[in-house]
Amino acid sequence: MKTETGESDLELTFHGKDGELRVLIENKVDAIFQPNQPQRYVERAHGHREGGRYSAVATVVMAPRSTSATNPRRMDSMPA
């Protein structure tokens, strides 16, 4: 999904009794981070939260351990 702060590789919405959860996913299997990309994901998540539609928003990056080791954990989750 494209926004003024960039685009997510995948966005999921989960519906539950307490509201909707939006998950922004970045796939970094064979690419490097672009300038300020983790921060732009955080900004995009804040925009979703402030919009009031979602009760929670999470950011996740899927990357090899070598990629996440060179980039600080700035997103909500960076599974190895």
pLDDT in the model for residue 16: 92
Q: What CA–CA distances, in Å, run from 9 to 16, 26, 61, 64? A: 23, 5, 10, 16
Average pLDDT, the chain: 78
Domain holding 60, by residue range, is 2-69
With a pLDDT cut of 70, the percent of the chain lying above it is 74
Nearest to 61 by CA among 2, 7, 12, 9: 9
Are 48 and 59 in contact by the 8 Å Cβ rule? The answer is: no
Alpha-carbon gap, residue 56 to 42, rounded angstroms: 13
Looking at the structure of the chain, the number of domains it has is 1
Whether residue 80 lies inside any domain: the answer is: no
Instruction: Quote the percentage of the chain above a pLDDT of 90.
Output: 21
Task: Report phi then psi at 44, rounded to 5.
Answer: -65, -40
Indicate whether 69 pLDDT > 50. no
Check residue 66 and give its pLDDT. 63
Q: Is position 76 within any domain?
A: no
Q: What is the mean pLDDT of residues 71-80?
A: 51
